[in-house]
Amino acid sequence: MSAPKSPLPDLVKAFSDIDTSGKVSTQQFVDAIAKTFPFFDHLGTVFHFAKNEMEQKRETLVSAISTCPTLDDVVAKDKKDKTTTVKNSCTRNLHRLLYAVSFISELLSQLTKSANANMQTAAFEAYGQTLSNIHPFLVRMGVKASIYMLPTRETFMKSIGETEESTKKQAAELAPVAKKLVVKVESLFTGISMPKAEGSNWGGTSSPPESSKSSASGPVAPLAKTSADKEKPMPA
């Protein structure tokens, strides 16, 4: 049986191809976001809901491409309509999709920090720094309780058709371009108090599941801080 086709090369290329020197193309952005979805399929049922949610949010941006060819246009239109923070608006969904980008990038970075890295701990760290900030309490607790059901690190890499070395190489290529994109797009939210999850008491790096603590550790690169982070948390 032939090895499965890895989604990593296409993912790295899609984000590397996005030109962040000027206004970011809405088409390029949604194309790159689509490349993140296959990874959720390899993380078990615990993250299926996240994939479905992000697919729906992506579709709102796809439908806006004809009138908003750049992400600047997307945010400008919603500002004009006073809908930037309205649930399911293009701007709010754009903000949420950035967390999916950061989650995948951070998960791969955590997994490749060390040969002793643990899948459960890596996912706990990555989720806590990214998606947990926009998920309601019950969803966060559901993820926290189900993380131990994730496949092992070796099983995950094998399922995406990658080896230890190839995963590490491509994770290193993805991290800087993903971060550059996130910082660029987040600059569009300046002055917008974007709603976040209420009481995001995830636990961060201090409390991974007891059964999955490992030597994997190190700095995490969450979404770039904006003025929105200083606002009182609101329901996502």
**Distance (Å, rounded) from C-alpha 103 to C-alpha 16?**
17
- 225-236 pLDDT tens trace: 433 333 333 334
Q: Does 27 score more than 60 pLDDT?
A: yes
- pLDDT at residue 198, rounded to an integer: 66
The tokens for 135 are: 């998920």
Q: 133 is written with which tokens? A: 């900030």
Report the pLDDT value the prediction gives residue 203, as an integer from 0 to 100: 52
Q: Give domain limits for the chain.
A: 8-192
Residue 71 burial (CB < 10 Å; 0-12/13-18/19+)?
A: buried
- Give 20: exposed, middle or buried? Use CB within 10 Å, 0-12, 13-18, 19+: middle
- CATH 3.30.470.20 given to domain 8-192: no
**Residue 216: is its pLDDT beyond 60?**
no
Helix (H, G, I), strand (E, B) or coil at 36: coil
What pLDDT sits at residue 146?
85
User: What single DSSP character describes residue 135?
Assistant: S
Tokens describing residue 55:
């697919």
Range in 83-97, 178-192, 201-215 with the lowest mean pLDDT: 201-215
Confidence of residue 145 (pLDDT cuts 50, 70, 90): confident
Question: Looking at the DSSP assignment, which residues form a beta bridge with residue 70?
Answer: 25
Where is pLDDT greater, at 72 or 41? Answer: 72
Task: Look at residue 140 and tell me whether its pLDDT is greater than 50.
Answer: yes
